Amino acid sequence: MVRVGVQADLPEELSGFFPSGIELVKMPKDLKEAIEIEFWVLPFNRVEAEAQMPLVQGVKVMQSAMAGVDWVLPWRRDGMTLCDGRGIHDVSTSEWVMTAILASLKWLPVYAKGQEERKWIGDWKLRNPFLSERTHTRGRYRVLSEELWGRTVLIVGYGSIGAATEEKLKVFGVKKVIRVARSARTEPVEVHAISELDALLPQADIVVLLLPLTAETKGMFGRERLERLRDGALLVNAARGPIVVTEDLVAVLQEGKIRAALDVTDPEPLPEGHPLWSAPNCLITPHIAGLTPNFMERAFGFIGKQIERYLNGEPLENVVNNAGY
């Protein structure tokens, strides 16, 4: 009987997605002694998973519910098949991307601050706008929010989440979506190679990052690339914090060149008092984009089917051969 390792506090309703014919092994956070399992459902907490790794024996499959498994690669052992959660996050993360874009364009953080202070911020009273003063005037009229309609959006790291985001963008009448991945392709849609990124950045009103963290992507968006963005462009990071050089991002935000919406930061968690917290034109959420009740059901429904495939000797899905994007 195949022994399947899961975190000890896995809710009963989620383990109900698993097939019969397995032995479910509940693994405590503070695993003290060696344990033999064949199929390991990795815990969401990467620190917990890494601490357990030296005591886990006999593993043939490591299954993560996360779309990015960069954190697993350094300590994966030879002979282990690693599978990621590609596709599971499409709905939740693409919805966060859309929320971040619309919240930024509608200046919701500005107005939320006004609500907190019980002040009606509008007309001539508008303070701390997302863009520079010159952008917010049309003669004697003040611009008090913006539209997504007619904008150009560049998606860097075009995979299943990128495709789901594009579908939602179409509803809002964006002018153009530019797609970028590791290598170019033309089917089913045109995708540009990452080598073209520098030429494409100045064309975009909004840049959405959905890349995995690899040696190639770490620090990809430093000062030079950030300065290629249009004045007032919106950078949305729903990928990994270290893809953007934090110090450089803080600098361009403080200069008023661009704005940002971040679900991930570097460092993470972002320490109290870090300058990114107070950087102007920056919306931050604490790495919550993918975590919804529906996501958990999708995740364990997928994992249950993966276990069935393994039991039946069928090819597994989402096998990680390299950290492509």
Report whether pLDDT(122) > 80: no
**Residue 152, token pair as written in the block:** 């150009």
Catalytic, out of 46, 287, 297, 308: 287
The boundaries of every CATH 3.40.50.720 domain in the chain are: 2-88+291-311, 90-106+146-284
Q: Is the model's pLDDT at 324 over the cut of 60?
A: no
- The residue from 225, 228, 240, 259 that is catalytic is 240
Q: What local confidence, expressed as pLDDT, does residue 316 receive? A: 97
Q: Which 3 state secondary structure label does DSSP give 185?
A: strand
Report angle CA 230, 232, 235 to the nearest 5 degrees: 80
**pLDDT grade, residue 137 (50/70/90)?**
low
Per-residue pLDDT of 256-276, as tens digits, reads: 999 999 999 999 999 999 999
Per-residue pLDDT, averaged over 61-79, amounts to 86
* CATH pick for 2-88+291-311 out of 3.40.50.720, 3.20.20.210, 3.90.1300.10, 1.10.10.10: 3.40.50.720
Q: What is the pLDDT of residue 123?
A: 60
Percentage of the chain modeled with pLDDT above 90: 74
pLDDT of 132 above 50: no
Q: Among this protein's residues, is 136 annotated catalytic?
A: no
The sign of the dihedral angle between the CA atoms of 202, 203, 209, 213 is: negative
Mean pLDDT of the chain: 91
Count Cβ atoms below 10 Å from residue 263 Cβ, excluding itself: 22
pLDDT higher than 80, residue 138: no
Mean pLDDT of 58-83: 88
**Fold of the 90-106+146-284 domain:** Rossmann fold (3.40.50)
166 catalytic per annotation = no
Among 28, 3, 50, 27, which Cα is nearest to 307's? 3
d(CA 105, CA 83) in angstroms, rounded, equals: 37
- pLDDT at residue 69, as a whole number: 85
Give the residue-averaged pLDDT of 179-199.
96
Q: Which tens digits make up the pLDDT trace of 140-152?
A: 566 788 999 999 9
Please write the tens of the pLDDT for every residue from 197-250.
999 999 999 999 999 888 899 999 999 999 999 999 999 999 999 999 999 999
Distance CA 191, CA 213 (A): 20
Indicate whether 127 pLDDT > 60: no
**Catalytic one of 133, 216, 255, 268:** 268
The pLDDT of residue 76: 83
Residue 240: active-site member:
yes
pTM metric for this prediction: 0.88
